[in-house]
Homo-oligomer: A and B are copies of this chain.
Amino acid sequence: MARWEPDAAGRLRAAALDLYVDQGYEQTTVAEIAERAGVTARTFFRHFADKREVLFAGSDVLAQRMVEATVSAPAGDAPLDAVGRALEVAAEMFGAGHDHSSRRQRVLHDNPELLERELAKMAMLAGALTDALEQRGVDRAAAQMVAEAAITVFRVGFDRWATGPGEPSLEESLREALAQLRTVVG
């Protein structure tokens, strides 16, 4: 068994999710995840701090890309349209992985501790998008509200897509959630 393989992180993520779905998050150990992925526990810890973080490994990259999309949106975009581009980027990142997202969402809903962590990540994402909008010249208070509204749309639209059959697409689900927010608030 190779001590280091380029795809170890990906296999560890898949193995962890399989085990969390099959036998429960609480009941699963790092040793079991590593074994299923065909690596050592030491390899696991080179990639992830603990068994919880396996489920949140992509969130830094997500935040970075969403921030980039917001900052680089056309100058004429209204603030909500600019973060709308960040939502499109998120849809590109996750849209093809309905099965994975669906199973991950189930594990989250079954474990309040994980749901809390997800909410905290979403709050950090809202903070990052607030900063991104400020870079576009939006004043801080408005930027915060736009970012929070976008994250609400993201959470609701993503959850509907992930807990549903996968159709309509994530992109469409986010678009519908945004349209719904406009309807109920307008």
**How distant is the Cα of A146 from the Cα of B183 in the complex, in angstroms?**
10
**How distant is the Cα of A115 from the Cα of B185 in the complex, in angstroms?**
27
Contact B180 A141 (CB under 8 A): yes
Supposing A119-B119, A120-B115, A149-B149 touch, asked if A185 and B80 sit within 8 A by C-beta, the answer is yes
Interface residue count on the A side (C-beta < 8 Å): 28
**How distant is the Cα of A112 from the Cα of B119 in the complex, in angstroms?**
12
Please report whether the interface of chain A is mostly helix, strand, loop or mixed according to DSSP. Answer: helix
Scoring A residues 78 to 108 as 1 if CB is less than 8 Å from chain B, else 0, what string do you get?
0110000000000000000000000000000
**How distant is the Cα of A113 from the Cα of B152 in the complex, in angstroms?**
21
Cβ of A148 within 8 Å of any chain B Cβ, yes or no, is: yes
Q: Which residues of A contact B (CB under 8 A)?
A: 79-80, 112, 115-117, 119-120, 123, 141-142, 144-146, 148-149, 152, 155-156, 160, 177, 180-186
